[in-house]
Structure 1
Amino acid sequence: MKNSNRKDAIVAGVSLIIMALAAGYAYGYVQNSLVVVGNPAATLTNLNSATGLFGSGVIGWCIILITDLLVAWSLYRFFAQVDARISLATGVVRAVYSAILAFAIFHLVGVWQMLFVANQDAVALVNLVAGFEKYWWLGLILFGFHLLGLGYLSLKSNAVPKWIGWLLYVAGLSYMAINATKAIAPQASDAIAMAEMILSAPMAVAELALAVWLVWKGGKSKR
């Protein structure tokens, strides 16, 4: 059982770290450097001049999707001994989020395909990018519920440091509040940007802290 727990911890921890790196590249670098908000023509020009870069970003999103599914399964197994029902529910919520993310990624695949046709429509292309972000944001509301479940399981566990559990709670509530506001009141973009700037640290650090702990200590026997 201990060996199995250790294996699940390593799979989850390594997958979370790979996911964070892929997200930093695919969204933080590729998408933010190519997509010009409110300017379809400039976005189309950027994408046409960097089709390879955009394609690598789509691959990055596919890596994120695969690691998300690995995390959902391995964390369910790891925390099942703490509370089997909550662990299962938490894993299912992340799997549903992954399904929504997959649907969102199809929009980016559509953008990629449009870059190779003769008559390109800048507005239609930007609408696909906006569709990706809309569905991703909706999925991130569910992702926030997943983090709340992880926070509960971490606090109930005798092994995970309590501060990680509380940090997961803060991150979960932050994801839910910010992305629900994006969906309900997109006109409040300035307030959303300010909230993201303030809450970005706990949102990013929570899962990374859990990932490092899982790789370092997760599932090891106490000595």
Structure 2
Amino acid sequence: MKRIVLTIRVLYPFWMIIGMFALIYIPSVFLVDENPLETAKNIRADELLFRFGILANIITQLLVVIIPILLYRLFKPVDASLAMFMLVFNLVAAPIALFGEVHSLLALSILDNPLTMMEHLDIKWYSLTIATIFWGLWLFPLGRLVIKSKYLPVWIGYCLYIGGIGYIITALVKIVFPELDLVFDIAEILTIGEVIFIIWFVIKGPKLSNENIL
């Protein structure tokens, strides 16, 4: 168990850094809303960085699988069924998000056709929107496992519930009510509940009972 915890504590910061690079920094550099010509121009200006963004998101999704597998092993003694639900939701999300990167690569091949290129990039972000639903769902069984296990403070489990609600609302607003920017912004703030869990896990670590230490 100690080895599992140590591995997660190493992988989580790496996952956060590379995930922010792929999902926050890269779009801020290249994407111009409703302006395919400027977006294509930005990509041409630094195509290698854009490609690194694709690679970074692929690595991010790989870690989205690896970290939950490790968490499954950590929490399985607490409740095997909850741990399985937690894992399955992530295993569903990863291929959906990876599908979007196929369209990122296709967009690179048609920079001379900005409108079609932008359609492929839109599909990539639509894929991430669908994946976001499952990124929210997995936090509910994880939150319950945290509460039941006492590995971490109980309030961390409730933070995970809040984070899950934030992710799901974020996705549903994008799908059903895309014009409700204020609700979207509030929902995104709620997702900090997952960040609190990660920071606590990395800095403090879970408190394992003696029989679970090996």
Q: TM-score, normalised by structure 1?
A: 0.86
1:141 pairs, out of 126, 133, 136, with 133
1:35 corresponds to which residue? 31
2:142 corresponds to which residue? 150
Mapping of 1:84-123 within 5 angstroms?
84-115=80-111, 120-123=112-115
1:58 pairs, out of 54, 60, 70, with 54
Q: Identity, % of aligned pairs?
A: 23
Contact 1:151 1:166 (C-alpha < 8 Å) held by counterparts: yes
2:5 corresponds to which residue? 9
Contact 1:76 1:88 (C-alpha < 8 Å) held by counterparts: yes
Contact 2:169 2:184 (C-alpha < 8 Å) held by counterparts: no
Higher normalized contact order (CA 8 Å, seq sep 6+, divided by chain length):
1
CA distance in 2, matches of 1:159, 1:124: 50
User: Please, which runs of 5 or more residues in structure 2 have no aligned partner?
Assistant: none
CA distance in 1, matches of 2:40, 2:171: 26
| CA shift digits 1:124-171 (9 cap, x unpaired) | 111111001101101111111101111111111122111211110001
Q: Runs ≥4 in structure 1, deviation > 6 angstroms?
A: none
1:19 corresponds to which residue? 15
Count of matched residue pairs: 210
1:183 aligns with 2:175: yes
1:203 corresponds to which residue? 191
Whichever residue aligns with residue 188 of structure 2, its letter is S
Whichever residue aligns with residue 218 of structure 1, its letter is P
1:212 pairs, out of 199, 203, 207, with 199
| CA shift digits 1:41-65 (9 cap, x unpaired) | 1111111111011111111101101
Contact 2:169 2:187 (C-alpha < 8 Å) held by counterparts: no
Task: Please provide the CA RMSD for this pair.
Answer: 1.9
User: Please, which runs of 5 or more residues in structure 1 have no aligned partner?
Assistant: none
**3-state DSSP class of the match of 2:71?**
helix
Whichever residue aligns with residue 94 of structure 1, its letter is N
134-143 or 206-215, which moves further after superposition? 206-215
Whichever residue aligns with residue 83 of structure 2, its letter is S
CA distance in 1, matches of 2:73, 2:5: 9
Q: TM-score, normalised by structure 2?
A: 0.90
